[in-house]
Structure 1
Amino acid sequence: MPEIELSGRRIQYEVSVRKVRYMRIYVTPSGKLEIVSPTRRVEPFLRAKEKWIITKIEAIEKAKQLSGFPYLGRFYNTGSGEKFKVNDNMIKLPHNKKLESTLRVRLREIITPLIQEKTKKLNVNVNKVFIRKQKTRWGSCSPKGNLNFNLAMLALPPQLIDYLVSHEVAHLVEMNHSKRFWKLVEKFHPDWKRKRRELKEWWIIVHNNPIWKEILEGRK
């Protein structure tokens, strides 16, 4: 795999050559540098994006140093137990599928009243609500009026869960990210831009947390 030195770091990267007009660069949650490009000559582009790349990698390194299980915005020490139980700074986690099913119930209990509140205010109806282990997004809204939420939302602080519900319910009115859509979101969260930045940070945290990784990859 090719390497490039940026800010004194040797960084490996992978190039996917495709018929695209512009070069695109991604830093995966695990810290892998991926480039989609019409050519394999990408190093000038990487050097131009050096500051952005290093900032992303440093955020990932910081996330990897965090210990504990993130739940509703807090980091807990963990122990084993027959039932999921939160006590002060400790969470007891059951094993295998029992943990996943318990987390699904917990998330549904949290988001159901939020969905009811937002749909009533925007005068819209939701069809079905699904909780999934999504790999690329926190949530989505289908043209059929179905809302999909990522199980990993349980790691987030309550205000970010509220924002995500508001965001997806707003899509029941506007199935795009137009100015009108963001005006709807703004009714619930005037600081939505800040919350979007925080969600990017939490995405990195969740996908570098060993327990959440096992849950989302289906091994626990």
Structure 2
Amino acid sequence: MSPSSWFSRFLPKATPEPEQLTIAHAGDTLSVTFVRNPRARRASLRVDPANRRIVLTAPLRMARVAAVGFAEAQAGWIAARLGRLPERRPFVDGAEIPLFGVPHRVRHRPDARGTVWRENGEIHVAGRAEHLPRRLKDWLTAELREQLVPLVLAKAARTERSVKRITVRDTRSRWGSCGPDAAMSFSWRLVFAPPEVLDYLAAHEAAHLVHLNHGPRFWALARALCDGPIEGPQAWLKRNGEILLQYGG
């Protein structure tokens, strides 16, 4: 055995690339994304509303036929969950979007100069139609930063901790995060949520500056930092989270 072959025995095995599966059900075909996870102990299915797909996760050692068989046995559940996903809500002329929870109508203004502005319950987007989605998203992201950043900094000041940086980006698996280095990230789609939801998420991540867990002391601090009860915003996100992920699609 060559030295390189001997050392390779002790290197971690690469996780296989995701695989697209087709599951038959009631005369239809369902698309499932199959992934391997070294931390998984058993096969599982989850909904990925941001990408409008079902993800099948299996341990590295599970036989492919066993994992696929598990998904096939759950075909009815897969079909039902895909059928319940909210419709896409693309950024087009005439679309209605909730700016911080308040409905606004999108108006394309090809004859106007400038970029994006708000007027009488409408959001006007100038320029060519193909640029509308990008320009509107950029404007919405800037609007969110204007509201969210001062809110987060104010709550962080109450913990007597500082924030390294705050980014707003297209995060799809969580609404906000705070790392050990005090760097925070938020989903730009929070621009569609009402103010009390932003307040709750700002309090939640600011509490992580002190407690990098979800233990009792963390929740006590998060409640203290929030301007109102946290149960309402939590329930709102649970009811509407999948809808927020469809805007701009």
Cα distance between partner residues in 1 of 2:28 and 2:233:
31
Q: Percent identity?
A: 21
Q: 1:4 to 1:17 in 2, by over 3 A?
A: farther
Partner of 1:175: 212
Cα distance between partner residues in 1 of 2:192 and 2:53:
23
Tell me which of the two structures has the higher relative contact order, counting C-alpha pairs closer than 8 angstroms and 6 or more residues apart. Answer: 1
**Pairwise mapping of residues 181-196 of structure 1 onto structure 2 (< 5 A)?**
181-187=218-224, 188=226, 191-196=229-234
Q: CA deviation at 1:18?
A: 5.0
Q: CA deviation at 1:133?
A: 2.5
Q: 1:2 to 1:139 in 2, by over 3 A?
A: same
Q: CA deviation at 1:90?
A: 1.8
Cα distance between partner residues in 2 of 1:53 and 1:193:
31
**Pairwise mapping of residues 1-220 of structure 1 onto structure 2 (< 5 A)?**
1-5=21-25, 11-17=30-36, 20-29=40-49, 30-37=51-58, 38=62, 39-40=66-67, 41-43=69-71, 46=74, 50=77, 54=80, 56-61=81-86, 63-64=87-88, 68-81=96-109, 82-94=114-126, 96=131, 98-187=135-224, 188=226, 191-209=229-247, 212-213=248-249
Verify the 8 A CA contact 2:161 2:209 in the aligned structure 1: yes
Letter in 2 for 1:92: H
Letter in 2 for 1:24: S
Q: 1:141 to 1:65 in 2, by over 3 A?
A: closer
Cα distance between partner residues in 2 of 1:69 and 1:159:
18
Cα distance between partner residues in 2 of 1:193 and 1:4:
40
Question: What number of residue pairs does the alignment pair up?
Answer: 206
Q: 1:163 to 1:85 in 2, by over 3 A?
A: same
Q: CA deviation at 1:170?
A: 0.8
Which has the larger displacement, 125-134 or 92-101? 92-101
Q: TM-score w.r.t. structure 1 length?
A: 0.75
Verify the 8 A CA contact 1:27 1:53 in the aligned structure 2: no
Verify the 8 A CA contact 2:189 2:245 in the aligned structure 1: no
Verify the 8 A CA contact 2:223 2:230 in the aligned structure 1: yes
Cα distance between partner residues in 1 of 2:171 and 2:89:
24
| 1:20-63, Cα deviation, whole Å (9 max, x unpaired) | 3122212121432221123322147626x93x973x435413x4
SS in 1 for 2:85: helix
| Runs of 5+ unmatched residues, structure 1 | 214-220
Verify the 8 A CA contact 2:89 2:246 in the aligned structure 1: no
| 1:185-220, Cα deviation, whole Å (9 max, x unpaired) | 2221664345334324443223322xx23xxxxxxx
Cα distance between partner residues in 1 of 2:161 and 2:85:
39
Q: 1:94 to 1:53 in 2, by over 3 A?
A: same
Q: CA deviation at 1:172?
A: 0.3
Name the Cα RMSD after superposition.
3.2
Verify the 8 A CA contact 1:130 1:147 in the aligned structure 2: yes
Following TM superposition, the consecutive aligned residue runs of length 4 or more in structure 1 with deviations greater than 6 angstroms are: none
Which has the larger displacement, 120-129 or 11-20? 11-20
Letter in 1 for 2:142: V
Q: CA deviation at 1:180?
A: 1.8
Cα distance between partner residues in 1 of 2:135 and 2:89:
28
Cα distance between partner residues in 1 of 2:25 and 2:101:
35
Verify the 8 A CA contact 1:111 1:165 in the aligned structure 2: yes
Q: Which has the higher helix share?
A: 1
| Runs of 5+ unmatched residues, structure 2 | 1-20
